[in-house]
Amino acid sequence: MTGMTNTIITIVYSLAFSIGFLFSTPAASGREPEDFAQARERMVKEQLEARGISDPAVLAAMRRVPRHLFVPPSQGSLAYGDFPLPIGEGQTISQPYVVAFMTEALALKSDHRVLEIGTGSGYQAAVLGELVKDVYTVEIIKKLGEQARKTLIRLGYGNVHVKIGDGYAGWPKAAPFDAVIVTCAPEAVPPALVDQLREGGKMIIPVGARGGVQRLEWGVKKNGRLKTENTMYVRFVPMVRKGE
Ligand code: SAH
């Protein structure tokens, strides 16, 4: 009798231990949505709020978007880490802090229409999609654009529109935009993107020579011209030309 009780106690104890273990190490071992939600919460507290991201709408969007579903399945457990990750085709999804910083810098409103250049995985577009009416995002690598479109549809981001094309041309038919965000780095701000930004609209864009670090420039369009200032140094993949 005592032996059996002991066995039951042991089973109950090890079950409780396993469940506790599952929930206490979300990012490392979790497959459960609950675990990913906890990892996201920690990402928001430790990587974003702790570094000064304070816009409640941006923080809420970062809490909601399931970043692990935008990276290759093999990278899922690393999705909420404080670093960029490979997404295939030699491209990367930015570090969560950089996504939040760039989003906050645009001071978005719920009726805004935003242009993104460099769809990649579609993660940044989804974060924008949580905040604004419509997102127009352009990707030059067909395979990535199509994959992102699928992910976005599956997750219900019907307000994010993906186009396969060359971002240097922007998306003239959907212009003007209230904000423009560029997540690949050109050597200079592409003129078409300034043309397609409305007067008073904001742009955030990494600018710099290939292979080096870039200045993450923040600008406002005034009297038809973009007035920029540097925010911080970053490292993005280059914004390539068609046919490269
Ligand atoms: N915002 C993305 C990450 C972008 S990585 C995310 O959240 O996952 C940069 C992307 O810019 C790559 O997918 C790359 O193919 C794309 N890119 C590079 N040059 C481009 C161009 N001229 N036009 C459109 N996209 C471009």
pLDDT band at residue 20 under the 50/70/90 scheme: very low
Q: Which atom of ligand 1 is least distant from the CA of 99?
A: 7
Q: Which atom of ligand 1 is least distant from the CA of 123?
A: 7
Could you tell me the distance, in angstroms and rounded to a whole number, from the CA of residue 7 to the centre of ligand 1?
57
Q: Is the dihedral of CA 113, 116, 119, 122 positive or negative?
A: negative
- Cα 200 to Cα 195, 203, 223: the distances in Å are 12, 10, 9
The reported pLDDT for the residue numbered 26 is 35
The reported pLDDT for the residue numbered 243 is 80
Burial class (CB in 10 A: 0-12, 13-18, 19+), 163: middle
Could you tell me the distance, in angstroms and rounded to a whole number, from the CA of residue 166 to the centre of ligand 1?
10
Total-model pTM = 0.88
Q: pLDDT by residue (tens digit) across 116-136? A: 999 999 999 999 999 999 999
Which class is domain 15-234? Answer: alpha beta
